């Protein structure tokens, strides 16, 4: 995860510097706001990945504290990992689901309501709610199998 976190923190650093340069050369608030937003976009997940990178190495927090468990590096981050190293459950993937389609239809109808009339919003919102309930129930069932 080190490369990932470096990548994201690199974004944060670059745009942090650019934001400062831009503010002090132009005093333009719109562009500076957006550049600060991009800095945060890199900083938040970047520190998260860095935290977990350190945790895998046995540090409880970023640089301090120790835990008993040292996980080491993920197989996908090791140059010498073999395919066998990655054995085990990797994730749970839904087989097929109708709910994205229902949700998409609901969002489509909901936005059409802004153009053609509020009554469409009722259809849109009920489709979206149905889809949300459906997808939640589906995930719970899937987990129980």
Partner 1 sequence: MTDVIVPKVAGGAYAPVHEEHGPTGLMKWITTTDHKVIGMSYMITAVALFYIAGLLALGIRVQLTTPHGTFISFQQYNELFTMHGSIMMYLFAGPFAFGGLANYIVPLQVGAPDMAFPRLNALSYWLYLGGSIMMLMGFGVAGGSADFGWVAYAPLSTSTYTPGLGEDLWIMALVLTGFSAIFTGVNLVATIFYLRAPGMTMFRMPIFTWNMLVTGILILIAFPVLTAALVMLFCDRHFGTKIYSVTGCHTTAGIVDVHACGSAVLWQNLFWFFGHPEVYILALPFFGIATEIFPVFSRKPVFGYKGMVFATMSIAALSTGVWAHHMFTTGTVLLPFFSLMSLLIAVPTGIKFFNWIGTMWRGQLVYTTPMLMSIGFLFAFLMGGVTGVMLASPPIDFFVHTTYFVVAHFHQVLFGTAVFAGFAGFYYWYPKMFGRMLNDRLGRVHFVLLFVGFWVTFIPQYVLGLHGMPRRVASYPTGLGWQSWNIASTIGAFMIAFSFVVLLVNVWVSWRYPVPAGDNPWDAHTLEWFTTSPPPHHNYTHLPQIRSERPTWDYNHPDAPTIRHGRSQGPPNGHGPYTGGDGGPPGHGNGSAGVARGVPAT
Closest to partner 1 by CB, 69 or 95: 95
CA atoms within 13 A on the CB side of 137: 8
Contacts for 84-92: CB closer than 8 Å, 24+ residues apart? 92/142, 92/143
Binding status of residue 139 toward partner 1 by CB under 8 A? yes
Closest contact distance (angstroms) between CB of 143 and partner 1 is 7
Binding status of residue 26 toward partner 1 by CB under 8 A? yes
Closest contact distance (angstroms) between CB of 58 and partner 1 is 21
**Tokens describing residue 75:** 């197989």
Binding status of residue 111 toward partner 1 by CB under 8 A? yes
For residues 32 and 22, the answer to whether their CB atoms sit within 8 Å is yes
How many C-beta atoms surround the C-beta of residue 30 within 10 A? 7
**Tokens describing residue 124:** 């849109």
**Site residues for partner 1 per CB under 8 A:** 1, 3-4, 7, 10-11, 14-15, 18, 21-22, 25-26, 28, 30-31, 34-35, 38, 41, 49, 75-101, 103-105, 107-108, 111-112, 114-116, 135, 138-139, 141-143, 145
């Amino acid at each position: 995860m080190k490369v990932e976190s470096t990548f994201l923190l690199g974004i944060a650093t670059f745009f942090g510097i650019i934001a400062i340069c831009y503010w002090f050369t132009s005093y333009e608030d719109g562009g500076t706001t957006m550049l600060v937003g991009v800095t945060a976009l890199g900083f938040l997940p970047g520190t998260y990945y860095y935290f977990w990178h350190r945790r895998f190495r046995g540090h409880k927090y970023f640089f301090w504290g120790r835990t008993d468990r040292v996980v080491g590096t993920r197989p996908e981050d090791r140059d010498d990992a073999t395919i066998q190293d990655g054995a085990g459950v990797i994730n749970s993937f839904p087989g097929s689901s109708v709910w994205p389609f229902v949700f998409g239809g609901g969002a489509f109808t909901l936005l059409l309501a802004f153009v053609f009339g509020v009554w469409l919003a009722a259809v849109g919102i009920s489709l979206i709610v149905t889809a949300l309930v459906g997808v939640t129930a589906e995930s719970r069932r899937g987990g129980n199998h």
